[in-house]
Amino acid sequence: MEEASKGARKEIRRAAREVAEQGYRLEENPDAKEMLPLIQDTISAKDFKVDRLDERFAAWWQAIIDHKVGCGFLLRDQAGAPMAADVLVWDHHTAYSILGGIRADLRGSRVGTILLERMIREAHGRGLDFDFEGSALPGVERFMRSFGGQLRPMCRVVKIRSPLTFALWQAHRYFTQHRRPWVWVD
């Protein structure tokens, strides 16, 4: 956490103080049934689509636990109600936060900071890098960068043999990456 910005370190200290004062509890590897509603609520709030998550999540979570390739965290309030959940998975070198959720009334609070800090510590405790995976959303990107992640350039090579397919693919990329309402005038 030495790489984290001064503001992020201050936010982590505030979050830790809030956990102690409010009596929050952070559980490791909770039941899938408790994490799923939080994750589904966040997916719905962000207008994402995940096919058949409710059918697949329990089996997927059990496979992660059985193969020892990840862990989950569930933050509970003083009364024991789930507040936020996140799933951390890893390979031989890197850990990734891949699926998280937070109660609607807590969005914008320090709850996300508590979970992220715990996942970073878990990854580093295992001798792994924590991959923030970047974001195209400016607010998310600023939040993640404040924790000291290093930028790594990424590139993608696509080979398309057909000129028509290439033109269609480029048009699709152009219109989906420019989030402006397009008006066609005759």
**CATH code, domain carrying 116:** 3.40.630.30
Cα–Cα dist 37/84, whole Å: 10
Cα–Cα dist 112/100, whole Å: 9
Residue 152 is assigned to a structural domain of this protein? no
Give me the pLDDT at residue 68, please.
94
For residue 170, give the amino acid letter: Q
Give me the pLDDT at residue 46, please.
78
By the 8 A CB rule, do 80 and 72 touch?
A: no
The structural domain count of the chain equals: 1
Residue 12 is assigned to a structural domain of this protein? yes
Determine phi and psi for 101, rounding to 5 degrees: -155, 155
User: Nearest Cα to 149, choosing from 133, 125, 127, 128?
Assistant: 133
* Residue 176: other Cβ atoms inside 10 A: 8
Task: Please report which helix (H) or strand (E) contains residue 27, including its range.
Answer: strand 25-28
Give me the pLDDT at residue 6, please.
85
Residue 151 is assigned to a structural domain of this protein? no
Residue 179 is assigned to a structural domain of this protein? no
The owner of tokens 């309402």 is: 181
- pLDDT, one tens digit per residue, over 31-41 is 999 999 999 98
Task: Give this prediction's pTM.
Answer: 0.74
Give the CA radius of gyration of the chain: 19
Q: Which residues of the chain have pLDDT under 50?
A: 186
- Sequence-distant (≥ 6) Cβ neighbours of residue 97 within 8 angstroms: 86, 87, 88, 116, 119, 130, 133
Give me the pLDDT at residue 106, please.
86
Residue 77 is assigned to a structural domain of this protein? yes
User: Nearest Cα to 83, choosing from 66, 63, 101, 65?
Assistant: 101
Residue span of the structural domain in which 138 resides? 6-145
DSSP state of 151: P
Residue 37 is assigned to a structural domain of this protein? yes
- Cα 67-72-73 angle, rounded to 5 deg: 160
